[in-house]
Structure 1
Amino acid sequence: MCICINCLYVHKCSTYKFIRKQHDRVTNEYQAIFDPIHPIIYANFSHQTQKVQVDWDVVECSSFLEKPGYWKQSETKTIS
């Protein structure tokens, strides 16, 4: 599971924006103005029929500041 959803920086993070893009999610809803320190990304591969699917998750990040459920708030919210 991606730890980004419980991070204070989720709505402005360049790595989370990259992860959303890999999941084919719209990435224009916010400007990535924060570059985290040492994010570790796992790419998990699974085979389903003749198609390979990839699930991208940030599993560790030195910039992580816990704020559980923060991703549920508006992604355009300004973070102070």
Structure 2
Amino acid sequence: MCICINCRHIHNCNTYYFIKKQHNKSLIDEKMSFNPTSTIINVNINKKKQLVFIDWDLIECLSFVEKPGNWIN
């Protein structure tokens, strides 16, 4: 699971914006103002019959500041 959903920086983070783009979420092309440090993104590739599913998750970030549920706003 992506740790971004409980981070204070979710609404202006370049890395979270990148991950959302990889999930093919339709986004307004805007500049994010926060560049986190030392991030690790985990990419899982799963195949079911002829379909390939790719899941992107941020699993480590030194800029993470916990704020549970911040993604809801």
The TM-score bracket by the shorter chain reads over 0.9
Query: What percentage of aligned pairs have identical amino acids?
Result: 48
Q: How big is the alpha-carbon RMSD for the aligned residues of Structure 1 and Structure 2?
A: 1.2
Q: Return 5+ residue gaps in structure 1 as ranges.
A: 74-80
Letter in 2 for 1:20: K
Q: How far off its partner does 1:28 sit?
A: 1.3
SS in 2 for 1:20: helix
Unaligned runs of 5+ in 2: none
Q: Which residue of 2 aligns with 1:70?
A: 70
Alpha-carbon shift at residue 29 of structure 1 (Å): 6.8
How many residue pairs end up in the alignment? 73
Matches within 5 A, 1:1-80: 1-28=1-28, 31-73=31-73
Deviation per CA, 1:11-60: give whole Å up to 9, x if none: 00000000000000122175311010011000011101112110000000
Please give the alpha-carbon distance, in whole angstroms, between the structure 1 residues aligned to 2:17 and 2:41: 13
- What SS does structure 2 have at the residue aligned with 1:46? strand
Q: TM (normalized to structure 1)?
A: 0.86
TM-score by length of 2: 0.94
- Supply the distance in 1 between the matched residues of 2:21 and 2:48 (Cα, whole angstroms): 21
